[in-house]
């Protein structure tokens, strides 16, 4: 296999390349590129939330350099559903890629809200589709199949290409108690199987979980029971994209004569979009503003909020700390966490639960109560999907590497030939030719770190400095110098952050002051006008002191004021 590069051999006719730029080897950041000799399409454009070591980073998106080098041949972007890990990267891609974006009505409604926060040279072209629709995009013919997930209006994609038929399941689950808009369309998948599928790409997130995922119906029954038993207000925290469950909470509130208040920016945004597009219905008078909840008896209120992952500035965390102007914790309150503990967030969530409990709030979560079920298929559901589709080739997608390996093993157990099962990661080049699949090359790929709305080069040096600051703190040393004579007119004035305990600060800073003055005095006045040299002398003197006395290496920032 060739080393990673951007210059792949010319693609031959009746061949399709699949190049994952994100989503294979990690959870999130989903983006898959499909290429023929004439045309390119993209499936999903997602984000990943930063790892703990990525201090100050807001979002992570795939490096799209390889894709943008082919921008003249890109015909369309196809979206499977409206989760951030599938649509969140669009604001950073569309300024450089002016192509139609196809998605279902709710998916594009959420995309539109997201894009409204950014500016574009021209308005993005958003084209709604529905299950059963067929779209032609160059060499690709794409039709859409309804799937059930933890957000409504999700689809799988069947792609007819010059090299064969590819089926991308999107994120899905199989639930016998389907929501009002219908569950996963098993008949459509079976029809694909009868007509022939050369390569199947399937969601791997829950391959390690045996059996079938629990039905959303069971969660609904448990939530109804818990809310009915609550003596006062109920605050349910969940992901704002879980619109089916939010709708069920509205129904439960109606049956139990409670008013509903939504709290959190994304909660308001998503529920507003869902109501406008007909994916959520709230009877008149049922919804109240969070500012008005004190006008009702506690037993009449159900609050639906974000913050289930212990996010520091979420409404729930502020409530736990007594700093939320709308939500004050009362002893009769019941808080229900209706979402899973995302790996990496366990400490923040348990801290949140402890703080709420200290305020006398009753907190319910799994395993204390059945408050959540996954939107991703478990192992037996994945097996059933394979049996319906009967693909000739198989490639697991959307998962960490261990998930991909387990899913590949499941495919081989299910009778798919070992040579037709490929485990790929970001940057691998997979070739489909005349129905045969092979891993043939790699390209250079990676992650782009987003700080605010900027896609600038937030590189390892910046992250190193941020980790340095978080570990050792900083000291700013200000000196005013006569620019002509080199005489020190003011300072050094020393300010520290995250470095010295308050009771030690006065003595320690006096010592540093004396050492810096001594170091400056040893420079001839005429040489003090060399600002670079003067900064080095100041930095060295302070650095030696902190290393000797504290065994720490703070970032030291000398500031020279010319007078």
Q: Which two tokens stand for residue 463?
A: 């992250």
Structure tokens at 182: 């219908």
> Residue 551: what pLDDT?
74
Looking at domain 216-364, does it have CATH number 3.40.50.10710? yes
Residues of the chain with pLDDT under 70: 1-6, 50-58, 178-181, 344, 451-472, 500-506, 526, 528-529, 531, 563
Assign 137 to helix, strand or coil. Answer: strand
Q: 60: which strand partners?
A: 48, 449
Name the maximum alpha-carbon separation found in the chain: 89
- Could you give the CA distance from residue 134 to residue 81 in angstroms, rounded to a whole number? 17
Give CATH for domain 15-211+374-450.
3.60.15.10
Identify any residues that bridge with 135 across adjacent strands, giving them in sequence order. Answer: 142
CA contacts within 13 A on the Cβ side of 322: 5
Burial (CB < 10 A; 0-12, 13-18, 19+), residue 7, is exposed
Residues 6+ apart with CB under 8 A from 9: 441
Residue 13: how many CB atoms within 10 A of its CB? 11
Residue 541, CA atoms < 13 Å, CB-side half-sphere = 24
**Which residue matches tokens 């590497």?**
401
First to last CA, the chain: 63
Closest CA to 154 of 238, 99, 81, 85: 81
Question: What is the distance between the alpha carbons of residues 46 and 28, in angstroms, rounded to a whole number?
Answer: 7
Tokens of 353: 């639960």
Nearest of 111, 110, 186 to residue 148 by alpha carbon: 186
**What is the C-alpha to C-alpha distance for residues 360 and 335, in angstroms, rounded to an integer?**
11
Domain extents for the chain? 15-211+374-450, 216-364, 473-562
The whole-number pLDDT of residue 2 equals 37
Q: Is 308 helix (H, G, I), strand (E, B) or coil?
A: coil
Assess contact for 412 and 243: CB atoms under 8 A: no
Instruction: Give residue 156's pLDDT.
Output: 98
Q: How far is Cα 268 from Cα 261, in angstroms, rounded to an integer?
A: 10
Q: What is the CATH number of domain 473-562?
A: 3.10.20.580
Phi, psi torsion values for 103, nearest 5 degrees: -165, 165
Q: What kind and span of H or E run contains 74? A: strand 74-78
Closest CA to 19 of 443, 341, 351: 443
Gap between the Cα atoms of 86 and 147, Å rounded: 15
What pLDDT score was predicted for residue 413? 97
Residue 110 contacts residue 273 (beta carbons within 8 Å)? yes
The pLDDT of residue 197:
98
Q: Of 266, 249, 340, which is closest to residue 303 (Cα–Cα)?
A: 249
pLDDT in tens, 250-291: 999 999 999 999 998 899 999 999 999 999 999 999 999 999
pLDDT of residue 1: 37
SS (H, E, C) 222-249: HHHHHHHHCCCCEEEECCCCCHHHHHHH
State how far the Cα of 64 lies from the Cα of 175, in Å rounded to an integer.
Answer: 36
């Amino acid at each position: 296999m060739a080393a990673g590069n951007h210059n792949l051999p010319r693609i031959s006719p009746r061949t399709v390349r699949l190049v994952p730029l994100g989503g294979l080897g990690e959870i999130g950041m989903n983006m898959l590129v499909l290429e023929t000799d004439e045309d390119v399409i993209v499936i999903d454009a997602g984000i990943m939330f930063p790892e703990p070591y990525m201090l100050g980073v807001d979002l992570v998106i795939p490096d799209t350099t390889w894709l943008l080098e082919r921008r003249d041949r890109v015909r369309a972007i196809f979206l499977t559903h409206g989760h951030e890990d599938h649509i969140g990267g669009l604001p950073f891609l569309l300024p450089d890629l002016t192509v139609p974006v196809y998605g279902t009505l709710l998916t594009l409604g959420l995309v539109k809200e997201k894009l409204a926060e950014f500016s574009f040279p021209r308005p993005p072209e958003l084209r709604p589709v529905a299950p059963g629709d067929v779209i032609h995009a160059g060499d690709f013919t794409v039709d859409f199949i309804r799937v059930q997930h933890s957000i409504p209006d999700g689809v799988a994609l069947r792609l007819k290409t010059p090299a064969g038929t590819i089926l991308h399941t999107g994120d899905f689950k199989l639930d016998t108690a389907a929501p009002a808009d219908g569950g996963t369309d098993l008949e459509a998948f079976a029809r694909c199987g009868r007509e022939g599928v050369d390569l199947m790409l399937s969601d791997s997130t829950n391959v390690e979980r045996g059996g079938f995922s629990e039905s959303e119906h069971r969660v609904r029954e448990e939530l109804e029971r818990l809310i009915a038993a609550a003596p006062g207000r109920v605050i349910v925290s969940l992901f704002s994209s879980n619109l089916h469950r939010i709708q069920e909470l509205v129904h439960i509130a109606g049956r139990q004569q409670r008013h509903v208040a939504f709290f959190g920016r994304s909660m308001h945004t998503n529920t507003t979009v869902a109501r406008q597009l007909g994916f959520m219905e709230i009877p008149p008078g049922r919804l109240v503003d969070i500012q008005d909840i004190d006008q009702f008896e506690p037993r009449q209120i159900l609050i639906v909020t974000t913050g289930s992952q212990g996010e520091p500035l979420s409404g729930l965390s502020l409530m736990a700390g007594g700093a939320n102007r709308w939500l004050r914790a009362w002893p009769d309150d019941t808080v229900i966490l209706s979402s899973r503990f995302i790996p990496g967030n366990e400490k923040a969530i348990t801290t949140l639960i402890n703080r709420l409990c200290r305020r006398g709030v009753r907190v319910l979560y799994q395993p204390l109560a059945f408050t959540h079920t996954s939107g991703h298929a478990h192992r037996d559901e994945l097996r059933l999907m394979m049996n319906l589709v009967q693909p000739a080739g198989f490639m697991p997608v959307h998962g960490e590497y261990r998930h991909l390996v387990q899913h590949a093993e499941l495919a081989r157990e299910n009778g798919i030939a070992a040579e037709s099962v490929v485990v790929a990661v970001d940057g691998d080049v997979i070739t489909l030719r005349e129905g045969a699949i092979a891993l043939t090359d790699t390209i250079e790929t990676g992650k782009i770190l987003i700080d605010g709305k900027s896609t600038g080069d937030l590189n390892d040096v910046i992250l190193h400095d941020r980790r340095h600051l978080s570990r050792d703190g900083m000291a700013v040393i200000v000196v005013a110098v006569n620019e002509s004579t080199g005489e020190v007119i003011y300072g050094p004035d020393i300010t520290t952050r995250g470095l010295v305990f308050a009771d030690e600060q006065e003595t320690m800073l006096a010592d540093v002051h004396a050492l810096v003055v001594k170091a400056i005095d040893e420079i001839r006045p005429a040489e003090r006008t060399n600002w670079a040299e003067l900064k080095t002398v100041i930095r060295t003197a302070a650095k030696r002191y902190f290393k000797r006395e504290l065994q720490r290496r703070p970032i030291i920032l000398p500031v020279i004021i010319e007078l």
